[in-house]
Every structure is written in structure tokens, then in C-alpha cells.
Amino acid sequence: MSVARVVKVIPGRTVFFVCDLQAKFRPAIHGFDSVVATANKMLKMAKVLDVPVLVTEQNPRSLGPTVPELAFAALGQLHLGTIAKSLFTMLTPEVRDVLSDRQSKSIAIFGIESHVCVLQTTLDLLEAGYDVHVIADGVSSCNAEEVPIALERMRQAGAQITTSESIAFQLQADASRPNFKAFSSVIKDEKDSTKASLQSLLRSNMKQSML
């Protein structure tokens, strides 16, 4: 009997992928503000945990820029770039070039839409040999019913379905590290937002998966 490979997020070799969180999508996406809130939390964690962040925008000439709430400038050099794309997958030639310059192993992805760009990115990353961690309280679609099916499809393909708080603690790993006070502050500051995003996004997903 074969034993399943244990897949862990790897501190120091992880990149956060922010998928197409553009303001023009706000009225159309289920729980969009909750997705943005989780993304903001992950950006704060990126700064504390020293995790690089790569952003894409779907056809920004027509669909406009990423929501202004996401302050990438605060990340400094951790912001690897914001890349325009027409492909649904984030794994464009430009993104592949960025990743090729790094020793990345784990990708944590959040954004929209679960069943289109997030799914196709996840499948392409898995095919390319990356460990993929999908932040379940940080993804959504126009139709809420699409989300649990997309998450299950990604799970079947080998992606790890997790939450923003779980992956943050995995990356922190040790309460004795000197950054733990800053890490703990983010957890406390984002407590209410985290709860609201979980309720907004995952509660409806769980109901759909039970149907």
C-alpha cells in the first residue's frame, strides 16, 4: 500500500500569487470584499514572513487595475511585479521567467475566479512541479456554486486546500522566531476580518458541497 506524499508549505521557498483582483469585478464576484480582505491579510503576512508576492491582472486595458485597497508598494522588493495577461492561467511566459530566477517550491494562490483563472493556474503549476496551496477563504467566483466544485477539482489534481490563517502559521512555524510579535499582531488585528471572510466564503461553499 503506497503512502501519500506529505505536502508542506516551505518557508523561504514560497511565493504568494494574487490572481486578478481588479476593481471592475467587484459587483460581479460573490463575496468579493471578503476575498480582498483575505488578500490584504496575506500581504501583511508576506511582509512579516518575508514572502515574495506576484500579481496578475486580466486584460487590464479593458478591465482596469487591481483594487486600490491592496498596497503592494508597502512590500518593497517582495513585490515581484504586476503582470498583465490575456491567458486565463497566471503561469504566463512572463511569470515563468520571474519564477525561473528563484528557488521557489510552494505557491499559495488567492483571487478570482475559482473555476477559471485560479483553477487553470493551479493545474499548470502542479504540472510544472510546484506544490500549490489554494487559500479557500481567499478565492471566489461570480456564482458561489462554482467554488466548491473548483476547489474539489484542484484537490483531486493534487493541490492543498487550506485557509489564510493555517498557511500563515505553517510559514511562521516557530513562536521563538524574532518576528513572532509582529506575526501575532497581524493575527489579532485581522481576527474579525478572518472570521467574516470564513463565514462569507466557506460557509456557503460547505452548504453547496453538501447538496
20 labelled catalytic: yes
In the DSSP assignment, the letter for residue 64 is: -
Active-site position among 19, 41, 44, 85? 85
Cβ atoms < 10 Å from Cβ of 157 = 14
CA–CA–CA angle 86, 12, 181 (5° rounding): 110
Sign of CA dihedral 133, 138, 101, 129: positive
Written as one letter, the residue type at 38 is T
Query: Among residues 20, 124, 131, 137, which one is catalytic?
Result: 20
Q: Are 54 and 15 in contact (CB under 8 A)?
A: yes
Q: Is 19 a catalytic residue?
A: no
The answer to whether 76 and 53 have CB atoms below 8 angstroms apart is no
- Annotated catalytic residue within 19, 41, 117, 124: 117
Cα–Cα nearest to 192, from 49, 43, 37: 37
Please say whether the beta carbons of 34 and 175 come within 8 A: no
Quickly count: other Cβ atoms within 10 Å of residue 169's Cβ: 15
What is the separation of C-alpha 206 from the centre of its chain, rounded to a whole number of angstroms?
Answer: 19
Contact 143, 30 (CB under 8 A): yes
Q: Does 117 qualify as catalytic in the annotation?
A: yes
> What are the catalytic residues?
20, 85, 117
